[in-house]
Amino acid sequence: MPSPLVLRRCRALWFVALLSAQTWYCAGYASEPEAYRVGVEQVDYYPIYSAVPPENQYRGYARELLDLFADREHLRLTYVPLPVRRLSHTYWSGQLDLVFPDNPRWEVHRKPAGVTYSQPVLQFQDAMLVLPERRGQPREAFRRLGFVRGFTPWKFRDDIAAGRVVIKEAPNPEGLIHMVIAGYIDAANMAQQVAHFHLKRQGREQSLVVERSLLPLRDSYYHLSSIRHPELIQRFDAFLQREREAVQALKAKYGL
């Protein structure tokens, strides 16, 4: 039988080992990243963002920006692509932690109270693009308007209701550009930055121009928002300020 001295030493070693194990476990638990679900639009609007079936892989500027935020703040973000209308209802019912993109002016009368918005993530100008030879024609000459599938042409709802225009859809901005150039539609709706990106990539930078009579150019903004986690939006705003150079580099990478 071990002597009392040996027993005391064994108990002391066992106690130290137990404390070490508890410390390791707690440290490991504390290092687990905070997990959040981010609702995103199931729309191909590259280079700003894109998530389309069947893979629904979220990519583009928004993905890289949010991934960088997650890395800097030790978060784990799970992206949940949903059709635009379903995304809104899922978010408002409390099933998502964050949503991108969002804007305080969107669906004002339907949103619940208490939505917290980040500082602007991206500035853009929504535009209607036409063939150069058609610029300046009467508004009535543009009857077939193209939109990316998944977007609601709410700025033209009165014209649609009155039968003055019909809406055609394409799965992505590239499709809309081809439709205008081929004459299948009279004008295509997309952010100027998105149009510039794809026209440049196709070597057609002068192929389409903005028709302001259809839609005046105004600055619009995308924001990150949250109903459940206003403190997370504060952290995101601080991240945007702290990482300004990295954010600008991402915008340059995607031509935004």
**Does residue 9 have a pLDDT over 70?**
no
How many angstroms separate the CA atoms of 46 and 52, rounded?
A: 11
Q: What's the first-to-final CA gap in the chain, in angstroms?
A: 78
Question: Is the pLDDT confidence value at 87 over 50?
Answer: yes
> Are the C-beta atoms of 198 and 177 separated by less than 8 Å?
yes
Topology adopted by domain 34-122+220-253: D-Maltodextrin-Binding Protein; domain 2 (3.40.190)
**Tens digits of residue pLDDT in 107-157:** 888 888 899 999 999 999 999 999 999 999 999 999 999 999 989 888 899
Q: Per-residue confidence at 28, pLDDT binned at 50, 70, 90?
A: very low
| Pairwise CA distance, residues 253 & 256, whole Å | 8
Q: Where are the domains of the chain?
A: 34-122+220-253, 124-219
Comparing 26-40, 47-61, 201-215, which segment has the lowest mean pLDDT? 26-40
Q: Is the pLDDT of residue 22 over 90?
A: no
Is the confidence at residue 158, as pLDDT, over 60? yes
Each as own residue / partner, the long-range contacts of residues 203-210 (CB below 8 Å, 24 or more positions apart, any chain) are 204/177, 206/132, 207/131, 207/132, 207/177, 207/181, 208/129, 208/130, 208/131, 208/132, 208/177, 208/180, 208/181, 209/129, 209/130, 209/131, 209/132, 209/135, 210/127, 210/128, 210/129, 210/130, 210/135
Nearest-angstrom CA–CA distance, 218 and 214? 13
pLDDT grade, residue 10 (50/70/90)? very low
Same fold: 34-122+220-253 with 124-219:
yes
Instruction: Return the pLDDT at 2.
Output: 53
Checking if the pLDDT of 66 tops 90, the result is yes
Q: How would you classify residue 63: left for phi > 0, otherwise alpha for psi between -120 and 50, otherwise beta?
A: alpha
Higher pLDDT, 124 or 10: 124
User: From residue 249, how far is each of 29, 65, 173 by CA, in Å?
Assistant: 34, 10, 23
pLDDT of residue 29: 46
Mean predicted lDDT score pLDDT of the chain? 88
- Residue 23: pLDDT band by 50, 70, 90 thresholds? very low
Say yes or no to pLDDT of 15 above 80.
no
CATH entry 3.90.180.10 includes domain 124-219: no
